[in-house]
């Protein structure tokens, strides 16, 4: 079993690979041999010289935002240095891309060929293997638009269920949002939820279970779910109307099996991926709620403007509550001023931090469940890494880091109930003690693995909008 160092002994690694990676540069040169094109050798020397520059530029300890959970062992550090070298090379134009290709070939030789939980590979080797595949896709020209998920297979659905059991991330967000909806809809006979990204619909199966399990014995209120589909330009991917209809059919069958009245529909974003409130049919007497899960990799395939259009649309339609589940970025993650291409390296490092924490948590929680972990890593984590890195590479602007604009736009925080907070802590009690939940604000809780913030859930009341004819 791979052993990770605790926080006190954690080795702090700069976002820029350091002079310690020089040995790997020489290993690369010897691996490709003297008969290789001089072009590669020149670039390998450039890696060495740029490494020295990077190390000298951080004579003092690097700022916390460029540090990430460390791993034990010289060989593991070697793998990480080479990953960082490949990421930096990708910022160097066509020649840098060719250098990245060389580095990735060498990395592929160093990690276990079949790097999976069942093969005996360590957690860091499997993590590196996922990142190699993602970087290779970038080198080969697979842009953001070429990476998407369509109809999930039965095996993928099983993997999603396993991930729900093995990781508390999504479940904590879902339970917190659902409890807020249930409390705000108490006594209502008709509930309408508009969901920005329904994914596999797992959040709403748990909501329906809660609705039919009321202690007062009253019949459950009718539920209507409207899923938001990508515009017509979304093609056959994850947000196509065809994919969402499959999810809807599955939810309808589940609702029927437990006796929950359910109506399912969808609306489309426009060609600019903007939400138009006119596409939502609101029935008089319905309690309307908006739900937005801004999670990797889904959030990064939609623009900040698209998310804003959805949340502000809640006000126009008179929604009672807006629930927001989002992945947390590392604190202080601003781009280094004056370094045009450092944005990708920083975003790459941030994703390396995030998925290092996820792999460490999986290892701590399920060290021996090889088959289940292999499915989750192969069908959930690996595709997420590919989309996250592809998006990080394609982005020319930093995505909005927070929802700080919401209060200025008139959104009011809605305090989480004592029961909701207790429910979150009770849920974490089922997982490893490395997880913790904190109340960041009266309306917001944040999930962390050790010191790495992973996810937050917050609840808001949209501003009242005066009628158009007033």
Grouping H, G, I as helix, E, B as strand and the rest as coil, residue 60 is: coil
Q: What is the pLDDT of residues 285-340, one digit of tens each?
A: 999 999 998 875 554 556 788 889 999 999 999 999 999 999 887 654 433 333 44
Average pLDDT, the chain: 78
Task: Write the DSSP assignment of 11-59 as a string of letters.
Answer: PP--SS--GGGHHHHHHHHHHH-TTS-HHHHHHHHHHHHHHHHHHHTTS
Is 239 or 328 the better-scoring residue by pLDDT?
Answer: 328
Tell me the mean pLDDT in the region 366-370. Answer: 74
CB atoms closer than 10 angstroms to residue 331: 10
Which structure tokens are listed for 111?
A: 């990690």
Grouping H, G, I as helix, E, B as strand and the rest as coil, residue 199 is: coil
At residue 238, does pLDDT exceed 80?
no
Burial label for 155, CB within 10 Å (0-12, 13-18, 19+), is exposed
Give the least confident one: 17-21, 189-193, 348-352, 353-357: 17-21
How far is Cα 138 from Cα 439, in angstroms, rounded to an integer?
38
Record the pTM.
0.79
At residue 56, does pLDDT exceed 50?
no
Which structure tokens are listed for 469?
A: 């004819």
Tell me the mean pLDDT in the region 168-187. Answer: 95
Q: Which of 178, 279, 300 is nearest to 227 (CA)?
A: 279
Domain spans, the chain: 7-142+340-394, 154-329+401-461
> How much of the chain, in percent, has pLDDT values that exceed 70?
71
**Predicted local confidence at residue 76, as pLDDT:** 83
**Predicted local confidence at residue 93, as pLDDT:** 86
Is 94 or 183 the better-scoring residue by pLDDT?
Answer: 183
Where do the DSSP E strands lie in 65-201?
190-195
Query: 154-161 contacts: CB < 8 A, separation 24 or more?
Result: 155/375, 155/379, 156/379, 157/200, 158/375, 159/375, 159/376, 159/378, 159/379, 159/380, 160/200, 160/202, 160/379, 160/380, 161/202
Contacts of 467 (CB under 8 A, 6+ apart): none
What is the 3-class SS of 238-267, one letter each residue? CCCHHHHHHHHHHHHHHHHHHCCCEEEEEE
**Pairing mode, strands 321-327 and 262-268:** unpaired
Which structure tokens are listed for 336?
A: 């280094």
At residue 131, does pLDDT exceed 90?
yes
Q: Which CATH class is domain 154-329+401-461?
A: alpha beta
**Predicted local confidence at residue 20, as pLDDT:** 36
**Predicted local confidence at residue 442, as pLDDT:** 97
């Amino acid at each position: 079993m791979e052993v990770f160092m605790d926080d006190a002994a954690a080795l702090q690694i700069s976002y820029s690979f350091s002079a310690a990676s020089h040995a790997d540069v020489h290993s690369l040169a010897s691996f490709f041999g003297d008969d290789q094109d001089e072009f590669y050798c020149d670039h390998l020397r450039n890696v060495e010289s740029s490494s020295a520059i990077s190390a000298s530029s951080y004579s003092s300890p690097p700022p916390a935002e460029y540090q990430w959970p460390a791993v034990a062992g010289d060989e593991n550090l070697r793998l990480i240095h080479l990953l960082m070298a490949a990421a930096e090379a990708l910022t160097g134009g066509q020649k840098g891309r060719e250098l990245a290709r060389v580095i990735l070939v060498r990395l592929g030789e160093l990690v276990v060929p079949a790097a999976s939980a069942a093969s005996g590979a360590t957690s860091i080797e499997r993590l590196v293997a996922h990142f190699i595949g993602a970087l290779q896709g970038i080198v080969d020209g697979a842009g953001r638009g070429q990476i998407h998920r369509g109809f999930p297979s039965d095996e993928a659905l099983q993997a999603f269920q396993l991930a729900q059991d093995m990781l508390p991330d999504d479940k904590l967000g879902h339970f917190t949002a659902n409890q807020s909806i249930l409390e705000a809809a108490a006594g209502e006979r008709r509930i309408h939820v508009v969901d920005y990204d329904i994914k596999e619909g797992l959040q709403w199966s748990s909501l329906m279970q809660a609705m039919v399990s009321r202690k007062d014995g009253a019949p459950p209120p009718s539920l209507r779910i409207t899923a938001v589909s990508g515009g017509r330009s979304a093609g056959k991917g994850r947000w196509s109307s065809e994919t969402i209809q499959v999810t809807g059919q599955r939810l309808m069958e589940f609702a029927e099996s437990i006796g929950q009245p359910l109506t399912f529909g969808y609306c489309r974003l426009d060609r600019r991926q903007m939400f138009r409130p006119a596409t939502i049919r609101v029935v008089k007497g319905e309690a309307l709620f908006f739900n937005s899960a801004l999670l990797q990799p889904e959030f990064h395939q939609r623009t900040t403007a698209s998310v804003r259009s959805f949340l502000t649309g809640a006000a126009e339609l008179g929604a009672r509550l807006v629930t927001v589940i989002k992945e947390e970025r590392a604190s202080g993650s601003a781009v280094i001023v004056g370094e045009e291409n450092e944005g990708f390296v920083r975003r790459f490092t941030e994703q390396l931090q995030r998925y290092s924490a996820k792999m460490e948590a999986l290892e701590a929680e399920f060290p021996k469940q090889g088959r289940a972990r292999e499915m989750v890593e192969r069908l959930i984590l690996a595709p997420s890494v590919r989309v996250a890195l592809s998006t990080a590479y394609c982005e020319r602007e930093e995505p909005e880091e927070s929802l700080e604009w919401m209060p200025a736009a008139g959104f009011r925080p809605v305090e989480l109930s004592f029961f909701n907070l207790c429910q979150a802590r009770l849920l974490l009690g089922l997982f490893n003690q490395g997880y913790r939940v904190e109340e960041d604000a009266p309306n917001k809780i944040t999930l962390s693995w050790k010191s790495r913030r992973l996810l937050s859930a917050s609840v808001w009341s949209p501003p009242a909008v005066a009628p158009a004819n007033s």
